[in-house]
Amino acid sequence: MSLLKTGKRKTKIRARAKTGIQGVGPSEMSSFERMAYYFHAELSYNDYADIIGKFIKNNYSKDEARAALALPKWKYGLFSRHATLCHWLKLGLPKTQQVIDTEVHFTQKIQECIKEGTEVLKTLKEEETKPNNVVVISPMERLAQKVNETILTDLDVMIDEWIEGEETSRDVYQLFQKYDLKAASVEQVKRWIDVEYEIYIDAYARMCDQAVEALSHLDRNEIKRRITVFEVMLQDLQRIKNTATVQRASRKRVRKPQSAEKQIKNLKYKKNDNEYKIVSVNPIVMIGSTRVYCFNTKTRTLTLYTTSSTAGLGVKGTTIQSFDPNLSWSIRLRKPEETIPFVLGRSDKTIEKEIDKLTTKKSVPNGRINTDTVILRAI
């Protein structure tokens, strides 16, 4: 006796085919936003790249077009709104404010592609003259390429979202962690942000007529919001830079005698904290230091351990040893995000002055280090 399957056969649902550029009609040409919506829904990324590529060939010089098109298609053909602009201008349709705003961003993007593509062609030409045509990429070039393909691509997408009316932002600190970017990438990202940031500052303060005109479609609240987004990004970049400086200095002072390693063997501490965007230094640098700054992320307590002993501070189990209770202190921070940068990037005297401004009272620390404690700095 055979067993027969009685269940219904699953029906495979196929995705609707996109109509493409040929579907653009009078309705889509009635407004720029309608055409942009159609392009987003009915065209593919390859379609965007083809339309933008043809526009560059027809509207830029031969050398400029060759440079821009030397880059991968995603460099210049990623955004549906840019493809919409190219087709809109090709049809000779009216230049509304939305068209002008998009054209400003598109022109800036293509100029960046031309500049980058020129360097690519120059490098290729130089490499062609070398024996065996071996292309050698320096570590800095490899790093710049990684930054362009990761975090700067994310920021470009954010700008495209703004053009489409979305109120979005990006967390630069988390993006650095996501893409495993080092502090050496900070300056490249900062240069990108500074260009955009200055335009909004000039428009908000009415210091530049061109900036005011370019952003005239935005109300002051939205301009201020975008300025704040950029300022938070710049603060995160400075925090990343300060942390790297402290860690480099800590590594120079690292001593690895057997006794020091034994002292920190059972020490439990917090290696990093995403909320306050801070990273612990290697705990071994505490051994022999005269001053150690710690921050408890759970209680928001900043602690300074200091000693007058010539042997410096030590560790036993989970407790710091040999600190002077009369010179050491703990204080609860109301705004850790404002105070911690001083601890990471300023001198002892500047830190003391900043702490003295706080209204909360100091207390005597107990020397305990736990899994909520980030070791900020050892001197």
Q: For the residues 236-262, what does the mean pLDDT come to?
A: 74
Question: Which are the contacts of 57, defined by CB distance < 8 A and separation ≥ 6?
Answer: 65, 69
Of 115, 176, 103, 187, the closest CA to residue 144 belongs to 187
Average pLDDT, the chain: 84
Residue 214 host element (H or E):
helix 209-214
Go through 189-209 and write b for each residue having 16 or more CB atoms within 10 A of its CB, e for each that does not.
bbebbeebbebbbbbbeeeee
Q: What is the pLDDT of residue 127?
A: 72
- Can you say whether the dihedral through the CA atoms of 163, 166, 170, 175 is positive or negative? negative
Picking from 239-243, 246-250, 283-287, 300-304, which range would have the lowest pLDDT averaged per residue?
Answer: 246-250
Q: How far is CA 311 from CA 289, 302, 321, 356, in A?
A: 8, 24, 11, 28
Q: What is the pLDDT of residue 358?
A: 87
| SS3 of residue 301 by DSSP | strand
In whole angstroms, give the CA distance from residue 188 to residue 8.
58
pLDDT tens digits for range 151-205: 988 888 888 888 888 999 999 999 898 888 888 888 889 988 988 888 888 889 8
CA atoms within 13 A on the CB side of 4: 2
pLDDT interval class at 302 (50, 70, 90): very high
**297 phi, psi to nearest 5 deg:** -70, -25
Asked if residue 267 lies in contact with residue 318, where contact means CB atoms within 8 angstroms, the answer is: yes
Residue ranges per structural domain of the chain? 21-125+136-246, 256-378
DSSP codes of every residue in 34-56: HHHHHHHHH--HHHHHHHHHHHH
Structure tokens that stand for 321 in this block: 């040893």
In whole angstroms, give the CA distance from residue 80 to residue 160.
9
pTM over 0.75: no
pLDDT interval class at 123 (50, 70, 90): confident
